Amino acid sequence: MACRPAIKPRLLVGHHGVLSALLDDLPAAHRSSARQALSGFDPLAIARLPLSQVQIDRLQELMRLRGEPAAVLTELRRHLGESPLIDELAGSLEIVAPTAARLGIGLQLDPSFQPHFDLYDGIVLKLVCLGAEAPVEIASGGRYDALVGRFGAETTEAAGVGFGFSIEDIRDLLLRPGARDPASRPVLVAYGQSSSLAAALEALSGLHGQGQSAELLPDACPSRDEAEAAAQRRGCSALEWLP
C-alpha cells in the first residue's frame, strides 16, 4: 500500500565512509570538529574552524550538498573521483529506488547526514514524515560492521545492520486528520476486567483473521463509556467491548 501524501515520507540516506573520505584532506586534528559541524548543519561552526579559506569554502559547499540521489552522486564523484564507496552507495540507492517510488517515499541523498551515535561505518538511514508542525523522524538505522568486529568476528566476515522506529510517532501521524483512509481505521478491542484479557486476545485474533485492522487496549477499562472515549481518541472505527 502506498503511503498517503499528507505525511510526505522521505528517506534520508548518508554514508559514514563517504563523509570520512570527503574530510580526508583536512588535518587529522580537525576532522572530528568538521564532521560535527557538517552533520549539525552549522555554518558558523564551520567558519570558526582553524582551516584555510579554500577548505572552509569546500566544507560550506558540502554542507549544502543534498537532494536527488543522481545529482548528488555526480557531485560526490567530482569531489572524490571514482570510488568503490560511491559505487557501493549508488548500487544501494538503485536497489531501493523502485520500492520507494512504489510506496510514495521520496529519496534524498545527504552526504553530511550522520546519526547522533557514532556506531555506524557504512550506509546510514533516517525516515522522516511531515508532522502537524514540523518533520518527524519515525525510523533510523544503518550498517555497523566494525562494531560487530569488536566482538570477535574476523574483519572480513563482520557484518551488521539494524534500525529502530518510534511507534508513538507513527501512531500520532496516522491519527492526524486526513492522514488515514477512514476505511482502514482499526477496531478497538477493550475489556472491563483483567480476567477478560484472554478473551480480548481471542477477539483480536478473530478480527485479524477476518482481515480487519484491530488493536487492543493494553489495560482493563472500568466502563464501556471510557472504552468508547479511548476508541475515539485513537481514531478507531468501532469498539469491541468485553465486560
Residues 176-219: tens digit of each pLDDT: 655 555 566 889 999 999 999 999 999 999 999 988 889 999 89
Q: Is 235 left (phi over 0), alpha (psi -120 to 50) or beta?
A: left
pLDDT at residue 117 greater than cutoff 80 = no
Which of 156, 179, 159 minimizes the C-alpha distance to 169?
179
pLDDT band at 57 (very low <50, low <70, confident <90, very high): very high
CB 113 within 8 A of CB 127: no
Which of 64, 66, 77 minimizes the C-alpha distance to 21?
77
- pLDDT at position 1, please? 41
CB 76 within 8 A of CB 111: yes
Q: What is the pLDDT of residues 122-178, one digit of tens each?
A: 899 999 998 777 788 999 999 888 777 777 767 677 888 888 988 878 877 776 655
Task: In the chain, list all ranges with CATH 3.40.50.800.
Answer: 182-242
Q: What angle do CA 115, 99, 17 make, to 5 degrees?
A: 30
Task: In the chain, list all ranges with CATH 3.30.930.10.
Answer: 5-175
CATH number 3.40.50.800 is the correct assignment for the domain at 182-242: yes
- pLDDT at position 182, please? 56
From the number of C-beta atoms within 10 Å of its C-beta (0-12, 13-18, 19+), residue 227 rates as buried
Q: Measured between alpha carbons, how far apart are the two ends of the chain, in Å?
A: 35
CA atoms within 13 A on the CB side of 197: 6
Give the separation between CA 230 and CA 124, rounded to whole angstroms: 37
Mean pLDDT, the chain, whole residue set: 88
- pLDDT at position 153, please? 62
Q: Which CATH superfamily is domain 5-175 in?
A: Bira Bifunctional Protein; Domain 2 (3.30.930.10)
- pLDDT at position 6, please? 66
Taking each continuous run of H as one helix and of E as one strand, the counts in the chain are 10, 8
Looking at the chain, the whole-number percentage of residues with pLDDT higher than 90 is: 60
pLDDT band at 2 (very low <50, low <70, confident <90, very high): very low
Choice between 117 and 1, residue whose per-residue pLDDT is larger: 117
Contacts of 145 (CB under 8 A, 6+ apart): 121, 122, 158, 159, 160
CB 21 within 8 A of CB 85: yes
